[in-house]
Amino acid sequence: MYIFKFADIGEGIHEGKVSDILVKEGDSVKDGTDLFSVETDKITTEVSSPVNGVISKILIKVGDTIHVGDPIFEIDDSNGSSSSAAPAQAPEVKSEPVVVKEEKTEQVQEGGASVVGEVKVSNNVLPLFGSNTLNVSASVEPTKTRNDDVLASPVARVLAKNNNVDIALISGTGPEGRVTKEDVEKYLSSSNQTTTTQTISTASESVTVAPTVTVTKTVVQSSPATAVTNAIVANKVESTAIATIVEGDKILEMTSMRKAIANAMKRSWSNAAYTNLSVEIDVTDVWEQRNKIKDYILETENVKLNLLPFIIKAIAKTLKQFPIFNAINDDANGTLILRNEVNIGIAVDTKDGLIVPNIKNADKLSIIEIAKSIADIAARARTKKITMADLQKGTFSVSNYGSLGIEFGVPVINYPEVAIAGLGTASNKIKKVGIQMVERKVMVLTIAADHRWVDGGDIARFANQVKQYLENIAFLFV
């Protein structure tokens, strides 16, 4: 009997939630047969069998959280050679991307005194600093954690950190005493039953959590070093933590993928200093050249040819001329990494949400090769067959909202990348060419970039170079 255990599928992912079971007990399976789907903080993937055999027993159910090393299937393999087995080698990952979660603490600050709390979306309202009521009058020293040596899942660490909990205080129930997400949630739930009050002054600011967060400011007294000399005008700040639910309402929970998208958007807006410029491009010549060869390309190369491969080619060539746009932020060191490879991400609209696999070495590919790459990653993204390798090492991204008939938009930077291009639809417009008014095919290109590294002039020159390539198509082939 082969005991199939959940394996580390890479990228530091040590646990996941079972989203679907694709086989039943008694089914015959082969090496490579998909057995179940699992959602993690980074991907949604289908995990396949490492052996041939018959499913003897299913040890998991939909909704279970599983950890690396957990037994998940008993498979009666053809050799009957093993009563137990170590975790199988990680299968090829078929994935939907989830960007690493980052949440920030927001401060309400006035007159030298501050109230620090967290705005967090979850099914439960969690107390600030692990308590229902907290009286403060000056800034409170954050809890010092000593969690470096604690065995814990990445999700558990983030959850504990976001709630100012020392993870070393939590007893782990996972393999080898690993602290899991459920352990942290149980600890927070337990803490929620006990009211802890901290007082640091004669007058107070009361913070009450659940169902709403209410902050009432009064005059604050503190030590001479931090004394507040001016009275703070009474100010009530109310933030709804739990919405009222009435009959007929429906509750929609975020999938792992939606959470990933949400966190990616927050991360981008929280870090990048946004600026953007747009330029109108006459793509008539590209359109006509494409029309001349599209049937031949479909017949000989079995790929449909639209404007996108031409635009990607123009952007790739421009990125080599403007390397600061082909770069990623290194926030840990406060530096920018100028990438040598040009790996252009293509935002793919799937039924589950947005996914951005990238075309590797796009600057070295022909227009036909780019067209094939786009078709390949789009098809695999929509059938959940994208791998982690497809999602990694991106240097610049493209959002083709023009494919949905949108003429203009401002895309969100795929952080930590420095910039992104937004492509509007190509539409017919009357333009003056020489002394004549003629109908031309025109689109709007928008470049959004991180103003910390590039200025408006840089963006303008970059966008105009892309424009030059597309309006003078011969230069694309040089």
Give the Cα separation of 87 and 66 in Å (integer): 13
Q: 384 CB contacts (<8 Å, ≥6 apart)?
A: 44, 45, 46, 94, 95, 96
Measuring CA to CA, which residue among 430, 382, 376, 421 is closest to residue 402?
421
367-382 helix and 284-301 helix, angle to the nearest 10 degrees: 70
* Bridge partner list, 383: none
Give the Cα separation of 449 and 329 in Å (integer): 12
Give the Cα separation of 174 and 195 in Å (integer): 28
Which helix (H) or strand (E) segment is 380 a member of?
helix 367-382
Give the Cα separation of 335 and 418 in Å (integer): 12
Beta strand 71-77 pairing with 65-67? unpaired
CB 463, CB 444: distance < 8 Å: no
* 3-state secondary structure (DSSP) of residue 216: strand
* Bridge partner list, 276: 448
CB 345, CB 421: distance < 8 Å: no
For residue 180 the two structure tokens come to 């899991």
Active site residue 451: yes
DSSP 299-325: HHH-----SHHHHHHHHHHHHHH-GGG
- Is the four-CA dihedral 188, 192, 194, 195 of positive or negative sign? positive
Which residue out of 451, 453, 464, 465 is catalytically annotated? Answer: 451
Q: What is the DSSP letter of 168?
A: G
Catalogue the active-site residues: 451
